[in-house]
Amino acid sequence: MEVIISAMRLAAKDIVSLELVSATGEALPAFEAGSHIDVHLPNGLIRQYSLWNSPEERSRYCIGVLKDPASRGGSRAVHEDLRVGQIVRISEPRNLFKLDEGASRSLLFAGGIGITPILCMAQRLAQQGKNFELHYSSRAAERAAFVKRLEQSAFAQQVHFHFDDGAADQKLDLASILEKEGEHTHLYVCGPTGFMDYVLGSARTADWQEERLHREYFAAVPAMKADDGSFEVRIQSSGQVLQIPADKTVVQVLDAAGIMVPVSCEQGICGTCVTRVIDGEPDHRDYFLTPAEQAKNDQFTPCCSRAKSACLVLDL
CB of 310 to ligand FES, least distance (A): 23
Residue 234, beta-bridge partner list: 241, 313
Report d(CA 279, CA 58) in Å as an integer. 45
User: For residues 133 and 266, which CB has a smaller minimum distance to ligand FES in the complex?
Assistant: 266
CB of 286 to ligand FES, least distance (A): 6
User: For residues 203 and 251, which CB has a smaller minimum distance to ligand FES in the complex?
Assistant: 251
User: For residues 158 and 193, which CB has a smaller minimum distance to ligand FES in the complex?
Assistant: 193
Report d(CA 91, CA 2) in Å as an integer. 9
User: CA-based angle 215:206:200, to the nearest 5?
Assistant: 20
Buried b (16+ CB within 10 A) or exposed e, 92-112: ebbbbbebeeebeebbbbbbb
- Report yes or no: 208 and 215 within 8 Å, Cβ to Cβ: no
DSSP 174-227: HHHHHHT--TTEEEEEEE-HHHHHHHHHHHHHTT--GGGEEEEESSPPP---TT
Report d(CA 45, CA 314) in Å as an integer. 27
User: For residues 66 and 250, which CB has a smaller minimum distance to ligand FES in the complex?
Assistant: 250
User: For residues 266 and 283, which CB has a smaller minimum distance to ligand FES in the complex?
Assistant: 266
User: For residues 98 and 149, which CB has a smaller minimum distance to ligand FES in the complex?
Assistant: 98
User: For residues 132 and 288, which CB has a smaller minimum distance to ligand FES in the complex?
Assistant: 288
User: For residues 119 and 270, which CB has a smaller minimum distance to ligand FES in the complex?
Assistant: 270
Residue 89, beta-bridge partner list: 2, 40
CB of 3 to ligand FES, least distance (A): 22
CB of 86 to ligand FES, least distance (A): 26
CB of 119 to ligand FES, least distance (A): 23
CB of 307 to ligand FES, least distance (A): 16
CB of 220 to ligand FES, least distance (A): 9
Report d(CA 216, CA 289) in Å as an integer. 11
CB of 289 to ligand FES, least distance (A): 9
Residue 64, beta-bridge partner list: 17
List of residues contacting ligand FES (CB under 6 A): 263-266, 268-273, 286, 288, 301, 303
Report d(CA 49, CA 36) in Å as an integer. 5
| DSSP strand pairing (241-244 vs 275-279) | unpaired
Give the ranges where the chain is alpha helix by DSSP (H): 74-81, 115-127, 147-151, 174-179, 193-205, 250-256, 291-296
